[in-house]
């Protein structure tokens, strides 16, 4: 597994890493809108039970100097937050009645 994207303890989540490890909110929001509910539910169901372990892994490192695999795991957690609204609240990818409304995030913390 030389090309693993995530820390080895989270290897079963590798299938989601290429899709959901996205560094910006804009990319994560676009991915959410272009995903089906089935895709997001599958990702959510696979990752949510390990969410607390993932947070515990990431918080061991200084934010400004995270190993790449841990930073990708944190990005995966951001994506879990992103899909939580479709999965837990809306039952659809977009915010109900939001139509063509948009709200671009122009400045955000990194990572």
List residues near other proteins by CB under 8 A: 25, 48, 51-52, 55, 58-59, 61-63, 66, 70, 74, 77-78, 80-82, 84-85, 88-90, 95-109, 111
Nearest approach, Cβ of residue 13 and other proteins (Å):
15
Closest to other proteins by CB, 1 vs 103, is: 103
- Through-space distance between the first and last CA atoms of the chain, rounded to whole angstroms: 25
* Residue whose structure tokens are 């934010």: 63
The CA distance from 74 to 81, in Å, is 11
Nearest approach, Cβ of residue 2 and other proteins (Å):
25
Computed over its alpha carbons, how large is the radius of gyration of the chain? 14
Asked if 23 and 110 count as a contact pair (C-beta separation under 8 A), the reply is yes
Closest to other proteins by CB, 39 vs 90, is: 90
Nearest approach, Cβ of residue 94 and other proteins (Å):
8
């Amino acid at each position: 597994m030389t090309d693993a994207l995530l820390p080895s303890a989270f290897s079963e989540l590798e299938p989601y890493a290429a899709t959901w490890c996205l560094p910006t909110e804009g990319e994560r929001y676009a991915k959410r809108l272009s995903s089906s509910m089935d895709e997001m539910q599958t990702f959510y169901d696979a990752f949510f039970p390990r969410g607390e372990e993932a947070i515990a892994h990431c918080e061991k490192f200084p934010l400004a100097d995270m190993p790449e695999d841990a930073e990708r795991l944190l990005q995966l957690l951001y994506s879990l937050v992103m899909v939580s609204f479709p999965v837990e609240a809306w039952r659809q990818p977009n915010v109900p009645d939001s139509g063509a409304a948009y709200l671009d995030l122009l400045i955000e913390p990194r990572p």
